[in-house]
Structure 1
């Protein structure tokens, strides 16, 4: 089937599940959950090797190597990203580790966005720098020239998120693809925050894209997983080796089924996430107790023009600064009912988290200060609930914050 003749909404619903139209046997509309760990083979084949097995032709041996449910998902994720090869992992972190490990070796150099997710930065530092001898330079990738200046002869990989977590900073994917390729390096992009529905880095020149499928792709906060998509056959082979053999870190059949189920509603969900997030961002931007709102869909965002150029939408995540100390932030968060305090994002339900004490707590205070991750910074994943209920909940939080500030002022008098 020529996937290039299919629109995104169609690929997200059907691709990978029921493509055969020649069988006279009734077929499942939804791919079954293949829980088997191993497969019976028809007989001995002395010339066979693991890499020659073709799951698309029904050639399976062991579910660590390939599984029909996971195979369907990998085809769908690749098609949704506009790529050729997809690999599904047990977590987003596993997908990132495998991609970086397939790209670099001891003595190589990586240039990465300084505003990466805290767990990714810790992984690059403690695993690749301290244990594997890979040098990593963190740079403000909002400026392509700064990235170019950080590149060395031994640079093999540029690693980016856009938008970043939690400050919603962007990098110019097309410009950084030029920087990487001029240096003979690869560009990897974590596309988790807006999903392939709103942004497709491969089309902009990136070499490899990763996702935490835990977030928008699954969309219901009930599965943990990761994915890698690339058009590079050699790189795909290296990543697949790590997935199947080198690390054996693949997505389970049940989780593959859950993500397949989630992608069917991804376009619908992303539109509602964005609609609600923009309304919340507008509300927050006009509030006296908010000093800054970070959301690329706002015209006030310093990279709004870039967002319009390389994204078709802005997603459902935003962050903002409260005009309050840590105690006031705690009062605000504690009063919320529709925004449970929890890490992660991208589910249909709204969530709120405090980066300084939660997702970015592994970073030192100095590192957080340098990035601008203050005690007053709050990150929200805006869900698909009715916007009136979400705004009313925020009012509840601000009422609690104002009450706490008034009590503090009265005490000090």
Structure 2
């Protein structure tokens, strides 16, 4: 049976429940996923003086062939993008600046240090997102940055974040699509603090100074990212969810939810509908935590499907900016991008093929028996046939055949580095 024939059979099954499959595919191809560049080189970056990872961040594994230059990293991203349906975005950190052999401190970074990235993005019709890098640096060695008691250190990181917002503005202006510039800091304490308030006051004051800098909001969108705990900040994190949620609401900034930054029994999917009642937009970094914020490659698990369902059934595709954030050096890094991004898109398609309006009405009517029965039955509906057809229609490999391209690229390119 051909892909088209399988698709038509699947379409008939879904249309019985009022799901317009053709419309779903048209919507899906317009949803961009922001793909993080740092999976490709284990968050090494291209600074002249490279620093060991810090801030509770760790990348494990030694699979051969990681990118070591900007050209290699962009080549790897292009290969991954060729295997992923749709048009997407690339998310950069400040440490991926290209300074032509000159040492440039992070608080002195300028748009010119990212001209090659912008040129590449234009050639590939991609949007760019950005993040200041407030870790892996001697001025963050004690785990404190924007909340540091030393005013000079705070000022350094404030200036770095301002410079980053201006780089984000440059991206948005040059590429014709707004850049999401997201601030995450590692600040916190390993053991129980004697004062939780003062560091948070300093963080608030630092953020106020950062956002006071004049940046065109039509080109740059500001986001702030919370965390529950990290290695080295197990007992207290200054930028908690409550802190950033309050700051974002009061100051009209986006609150970014990283799916690995909460207690293991919390689900980010449950937060989306509540937050969208009070925020016009929010942002996501989707990863897969395993026991702690370990940022495993995204798989099509229950929480990913529920995350997508919350976005789709609440008509929030234009309100939720979806990005990825994982780093696995134990497998082929291009394959990691491909697996994780395809799974995020699969989850969105799965949500679009669910009769959400009908299921909502069952809940309103108190018909919980039929609701549960249908939710479970739809898990084995012919979703795969629709996904295969979509991949073929978008000109990317169907099913696992993309692995052949990865194996050839690894042998011809990555293993020769």
Tell me the TM-score normalized by structure 1: 0.23
Is the helix fraction higher in 1 or 2? 2
Tell me the TM-score normalized by structure 2: 0.23
